Structure 1
Amino acid sequence: MQETLIHPLIEQRADPYIYKHTDGFYYFTASVPQYDRIELRRAATIEGLATAPTVDAWIKPDSGPYSELIWAPELHFNMGAWYVYFAAAPSRAIKDKLFQHRMYAIRNPNPNPLEGAWEFMGQVDTGIDTFCLDATTFNHQGTLYYLWAQKDVAIEGNSNLYLAKMKTPWQIEGTPVLLSKPEYDWETRGFWVNEGPSVVHRNGKIFISYSASATDENYAMGLLHADEDADLLDPASWTKSREPVLRTCYDHGIYGPGHNSFTYAEDGETVMLVYHARTYTEIVGDPLWNPDRHTFVKPLRWGEDGMPLFGRPSTY
């Protein structure tokens, strides 16, 4: 099969999230290099997002528990309103230590989330008061689920993946269930991390992609899957890939692909893989403060067994 080299869709936007709504528009948000706000844009096509004007939906306060390091926003339409889920740290985070994030939600009832007023809904409380981030939501068989990464002091590493039902779009219901923790070599390079989960439903299965290891060239993506009729809150329902499904391509110089989302092409059927990656490894200082994680988009392919084929981050 002929491979085509791909280039960034949007430069200097990490943790990209693209959502195709029922109004026919594509909506985009991501971590901005300054980590100081939630930025939205929309366009009629995926390519159009690259040049679409941006709107600041929410800007962090100068101090307080959610006033620093605004990470990985995601825009969802749940129960008749728009929600952005994001992680934020307290104002002391930079001078003390980074990993103090908690998760928060804002809401906008306007049909167009780039217009209207956003309401701060507060912290999304998981019942565990530890570092957490990278929340996403998905609907399946009439239930709204919350899926995220969080630290457990009893488990070695920085973050694991958890799943819970939602009572409202900003409140979880019941006890969170541990789905995955860092255990393989490729998940524990630099940091022991499972984070950035995203969900796609296809071929009778629910797939959860996620990212692992440090955010440099070691960053890579793994995969969980369950039968669509299984109890998703039963950890035994999930099968975890032993090898990464997407990792650095040294041949073409695309490094540390991860923190992906899924959307659909203009045909409404083709699943598109959205992810960030770097185009060089000579990072000066902390990789988290390096702005050059760019947004890439490419079609996701599927095997005869119904499993997704991620290929390489540099080609499609």
Structure 2
Amino acid sequence: MGPPTLWLGVLAAVCVASTSAFTNPIKTLNGSDPFMIYWDGMYYMTTTSWSNVEITAASTIEGLKTATPQVVYTDTTNPLFAENWWAPEMWRVNDRWYIYFSTSEDLPSWDLILPSLRIWALEGGSGTPLSEPYKLVSEVRPPNYHGGMLDPSIYNVGGRDYFFFSSVNGPESPNGASLWIAEMTSPSDIGPATMISFPEHDWETDPSPVLEGPAGITSPNGTIFMVYSANSCNTQDYTLGALQLEEGADPLLASSWTKLPEPLLTTSVDNGMYGPGHNGFFKSPDGTQDWMIFHANRDSSGRCDEYRQTFVQPLALDRRRQNKRLLESYERHGMRLGEARMSPWGLQRFEEDCEEWVPPLGDWPCEVRGRWLLRNGYQCINHGGKSYCLGHGVPKLTTPSASNLDAFAGGEEIELKWNLEDRAGDAYPAPTATCTSRHRLAALPQEILQQILSYLVPRGSAYQFFYARHNNKPVAIVQQFIPANEHGLRSAHLALAGTSRYWRDVVYSRFYGMNTFAFNIGTTTMEISVESHDFKRFESWVKVLSEEHSGPLGPISQATAKYLKSAMLLFAFPISLGSKEVGQLADVVARAARMLESTTFSKLQIHLQALGRMNKMYDTILVDSLDVDFCETTNVIQVKLRDLKVVPPSSRSNKVQRAFEPLLKLNAFEPVISGLMAEDFAQEIKDNITVARTGA
């Protein structure tokens, strides 16, 4: 039997169109026990309707509010279907749609009604959840259990489908309602069931011992959780808890599951949300985000009736330890203000042009995976006017204390932690596909970069640099990406923030979308790092050169470079340079050329960055005025003027520009040299490229 494909409809290789923003609640009447999927451009939602099974469909989450529910099944004659049509869920099994739900008989007391609860399977069509009528297949019941059953759900573990349900008032179900699991043998048949959890904590038993509403989810690090609702649904003590499945363990064994000691989502009096529970999970259209749908009361007295309301919110999976506080803070400020939001794989912001949530760093695939580790060997921290560097080949001025590093993410451990916010009046942009336009980091708060950017690089990347702040002190961080399979690298990325805000934006926006790496080398930085070892003028991360000329050029190696598809080299220099500084620059360029000589690029970009004093306030501006492109077909360099307001470099700049000649001989398919240069140097570059190409 094939796996239920709740997720398959949103993990398509091609991103789908955007959807509009929405506000909560999604449903104010008959909104309890909600379940949602996204399939083929549409959202499909079910809730408890008490006397039938209904599906509501719309192209946007906001549209679900006004869409007319369609009754897909009802039965007014069979006494087993007399009442309590609860918690229907849609699952795609063996390429067909099935709905699982519970009903009960009409009996005089709950002591009699609860044991009469049964779970049923409806079979639909193979197209969409509404493409064909549903028919009753049969009751779903394990051979070893004869009590009341409710809240069915399915989850695939290790390629096998498992059926989860809550048992109540049965002889095999002690301590109130408990959670059970059975392996599925067909869409309507299951094997023997095992009880995997029962109410035991105070928050599960007081006032009522109940575990119900199971819903499975897999965290970004592969850990499987079974989330459930605990306690009585007619009180504000109703809450969400979770069981964690031991990696590789048999899910049919109760010993394979560990209960998290604290609830995940509880009543928030401040936000007027009482008794949140019975949730489901669904993916965004592009598959990059996990979202949660659940019900809650707005009445503090609590109720377990048709007046419970349906809410939808993005699911935040906090990393443990250091950055948990940053994530929670960013959720509060970013999501509420509509600036951005956190998904389990990183930061996203709402792009008005394409009306959807997008990563801020350019064109993006529909799925992101990877793990990052702090690379102390290339880390510098600006602190109190001094800079402290840890690593090899650079002087160790002072080793920072552990407290200086407490804002940095560490490892890949994930824990579930959800924050209940007041969603009643807030507009949430919907979970959507990725916009195809380019995006920059200019508007993003710098302090969140160290928390988030490491999530935003596709598998196959190598290093990540970014600027951040810690305790209001500027810091510069570098992390190394650990791919799942290093031999599967198709490209590598190396990013470095420039010495101006403009270049930081350009670097971050360009290299992510182009599979390039960027490397900034400033001659002022060289002088400081090589001679005086004083790093206080660092505005952002720059490579601290080794005193040994044979030392490595940053954390790039030939092994890494051979995976690169294209490269972008950024060189910064003052307008006036002495012979010593020019010599240092030429040496670095030569080393870069040696490192890259075995690399075959589809494109090589070299940007010359000239810094000059432009007014009496000594404001430093970036001069980048010429675009020089080499056309392989005609062997002609095309020079385009970018900015007429720039100040031409002095004649001594020719010496600096000539230092880049070794890079022109690299085996680059399409070299591009950008910058301000003299006419004779441009002609010399043209000649050198022609010679390198023709071998003349």
CA contact 1:156–1:192 (8 Å) conserved in 2 = no
Match for residue 59 of structure 1 among 48, 59, 74: 74
Q: How does 1:96-245 map to 2 (within 5 A)?
A: 97-99=112-114, 100-127=116-143, 128-151=145-168, 152-153=170-171, 155-173=173-191, 175-202=192-219, 203-215=221-233, 216-245=235-264
Q: Is the counterpart of residue 49 in structure 1 residue 64 in structure 2? A: yes
Runs of 4+ aligned residues of structure 1 deviating over 4 Å after TM superposition are 93-96
CA contact 2:102–2:151 (8 Å) conserved in 1 = yes
For residues 247 and 55 of structure 2, what CA distance do their matches in structure 1 show? 32
- String of CA shifts for 1:18-69, please: whole Å, max 9, x gaps: 0123x2322110102xx10101022223333222221100113234212211
Match for residue 91 of structure 1 among 106, 110, 114: 106
The residue type equivalent to 2:106 in the other structure is: S
Partner residue, 2:273? 254
CA contact 1:161–1:179 (8 Å) conserved in 2 = yes
CA contact 2:106–2:113 (8 Å) conserved in 1 = no
Tell me the SS of whatever aligns to 2:47: strand
Q: Is the counterpart of residue 308 in structure 1 residue 416 in structure 2? A: yes
Q: How does 1:29-48 map to 2 (within 5 A)?
A: 29-32=46-49, 35-48=50-63
Deviation at 1:136, TM superposition (A): 0.3
Partner residue, 1:82? 97
- Per the normalisation by structure 1, the TM-score is 0.89
Partner residue, 1:28? 45
For residues 78 and 94 of structure 2, what CA distance do their matches in structure 1 show? 31
The residue type equivalent to 2:414 in the other structure is: G
Higher strand share goes to which structure? 1
For residues 172 and 47 of structure 1, what CA distance do their matches in structure 2 show? 37
Q: Is the counterpart of residue 16 in structure 1 residue 124 in structure 2? A: no
- Work out which of the two has the higher radius of gyration on C-alpha atoms and give 1 or 2: 2
- Per the normalisation by structure 2, the TM-score is 0.42
Match for residue 296 of structure 1 among 294, 298, 311: 311
Tell me the SS of whatever aligns to 1:14: coil
Deviation at 1:77, TM superposition (A): 0.8
Distance 1:295 1:89, change over 3 A: same
For residues 290 and 97 of structure 2, what CA distance do their matches in structure 1 show? 22
Deviating more after overlay: 119-128 vs 43-52: 43-52
Distance 1:155 1:84, change over 3 A: closer
Percent identity over paired residues: 31
Partner residue, 2:655? none
For residues 300 and 416 of structure 2, what CA distance do their matches in structure 1 show? 28
Distance 1:46 1:141, change over 3 A: farther
Q: How many residues align?
A: 303
Partner residue, 2:294? 275
Distance 1:190 1:251, change over 3 A: same
Higher helix share goes to which structure? 2
For residues 183 and 121 of structure 2, what CA distance do their matches in structure 1 show? 16
CA contact 1:221–1:245 (8 Å) conserved in 2 = yes
Structure 1 unmatched runs, 5+: 1-5
Deviation at 1:110, TM superposition (A): 4.2
The residue type equivalent to 1:251 in the other structure is: D
For residues 119 and 190 of structure 2, what CA distance do their matches in structure 1 show? 12
Tell me the SS of whatever aligns to 1:65: helix
For residues 61 and 95 of structure 1, what CA distance do their matches in structure 2 show? 21
Partner residue, 1:3? none
CA contact 1:248–1:313 (8 Å) conserved in 2 = no
Distance 1:122 1:154, change over 3 A: closer
- String of CA shifts for 1:93-138, please: whole Å, max 9, x gaps: 6698431211111101241222322110121012211111000012
The residue type equivalent to 2:118 in the other structure is: R
Tell me the SS of whatever aligns to 2:199: coil
CA contact 1:126–1:176 (8 Å) conserved in 2 = yes
- String of CA shifts for 1:243-267, please: whole Å, max 9, x gaps: 1111111111100000000011233
Deviating more after overlay: 265-274 vs 129-138: 265-274
The residue type equivalent to 2:137 in the other structure is: M
CA contact 1:246–1:313 (8 Å) conserved in 2 = no
For residues 262 and 38 of structure 1, what CA distance do their matches in structure 2 show? 19
Deviating more after overlay: 306-315 vs 123-132: 306-315
Deviation at 1:312, TM superposition (A): 1.7
Deviating more after overlay: 240-249 vs 58-67: 58-67
Higher relative contact order (CA 8 A, sep 6+): 1
CA contact 2:294–2:311 (8 Å) conserved in 1 = yes
The residue type equivalent to 2:318 in the other structure is: G
For residues 294 and 47 of structure 1, what CA distance do their matches in structure 2 show? 15
CA contact 1:132–1:159 (8 Å) conserved in 2 = no
For residues 58 and 151 of structure 2, what CA distance do their matches in structure 1 show? 24
- String of CA shifts for 1:157-189, please: whole Å, max 9, x gaps: 32110111100011002x212111000111112
Structure 2 unmatched runs, 5+: 1-22, 320-412, 429-696
Tell me the SS of whatever aligns to 2:291: strand
